[in-house]
């Protein structure tokens, strides 16, 4: 079974631009979560989607948004990029969202904002 | 704010030695999970311990949980160079999201 895939793996953008990141979960998994990882703040939860519905959202500004499609693939979008948005963005999938279920992480998208 | 804090931040040991890292958290939890991350890549799930469990083993890994102290420890026995990675604890407080700690960077010297 293929793992979680994320595209692109690396991205360089300039301030003010917007970016869209994609995540394909493991086949059959319906829950997709997104995390931002930075050296200063560590891993922080962005949002979680299940069956195309955002069920929970972390403490991030409205510039960060996401969606999930009927095939469970998910995208996250960051508008009006700031230097501080430079980070590794990780998505994780699980069969259903349940804290007793293991989350399977993708390799991440490394975003650099210049 | 982050839920968990790992200690130490960095640990360097010789191959074959045991490595112990600790995680403290702030509020009551349903369970606690440990993950490993190799140099800027995705996280790999290691072990889950429920709030009503005190100790759990998986291969060379031993995890303990003390809910009265709001802390957990991860012990890796007979370490190998391949264990070099960052280790994170993750707690589920509300049942809706995981809170990750700051991580312990482990270096195992061959």
Bridge partners (DSSP) listed for residue A56:
A48
Half-sphere exposure for B53 (CA within 13 Å, toward CB): 16
Q: Please list every residue in chain A whose beta carbon sits closer than 8 Å to the beta carbon of residue B99.
A: 45
CB of B10 within 8 Å of a chain A CB? The answer is no
Residue numbers of B between 42 and 101 with CB closer than 8 Å to A: 42-45, 48, 50, 88, 92, 95-101
Judge whether residue B1 has pLDDT over 50: no
Greater confidence, A19 or B3?
Answer: A19
Q: Please list every residue in chain A whose beta carbon sits closer than 8 Å to the beta carbon of residue B2.
A: 41-42, 44
Count the neighbouring beta carbons within 10 Å of the beta carbon of residue B27.
10
Q: What angle do CA B85, B91, B95 make, to 5 degrees?
A: 140
Chain centroid to CA B47: how far?
9
CA distance A104 to chain B (A): 7
pLDDT tens column, A18-27: 999 999 999 9
Q: Looking at residue B94, what is its pLDDT?
A: 61
Indicate the pLDDT class of residue B102, thresholds 50, 70 and 90. Answer: confident
* Residue A4: partners with Cβ closer than 8 Å, 6 or more residues away: A23, A24, A25, A26, A91, A92, A93, A104, A105, A106, B42
pLDDT tens column, A66-79: 999 999 999 999 99
């Amino acid at each position: 079974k293929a793992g979680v895939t994320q595209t692109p793996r690396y991205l360089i953008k300039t301030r003010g631009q917007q970016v869209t990141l994609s995540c394909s979960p493991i086949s059959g998994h319906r829950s997709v979560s997104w995390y931002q990882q930075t050296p200063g703040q560590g891993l922080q939860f962005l949002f979680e989607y299940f069956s195309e519905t955002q069920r929970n959202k972390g403490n991030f500004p409205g510039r960060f948004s996401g969606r999930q499609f009927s095939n469970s693939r998910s995208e996250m979008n960051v508008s009006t990029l700031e230097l501080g948005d430079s980070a590794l963005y990780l998505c994780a999938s699980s069969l259903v969202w349940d804290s007793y279920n293991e989350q399977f992480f993708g390799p991440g998208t490394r975003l650099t904002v210049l | 704010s982050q839920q968990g804090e790992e200690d130490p931040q960095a640990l360097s040991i010789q191959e074959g030695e045991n490595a112990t890292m600790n995680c403290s958290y702030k509020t009551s939890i349903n369970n606690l999970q440990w993950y490993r991350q190799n140099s800027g890549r995705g996280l790999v799930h290691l072990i889950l311990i429920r709030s009503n469990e005190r100790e759990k083993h998986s291969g060379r890994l031993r995890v303990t949980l003390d809910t009265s102290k709001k802390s957990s420890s991860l012990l890796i026995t007979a370490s190998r160079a391949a264990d070099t990675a960052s280790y994170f604890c993750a707690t589920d407080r509300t049942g809706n999201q995981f809170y990750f700690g700051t991580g312990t960077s482990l270096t195992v010297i061959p």
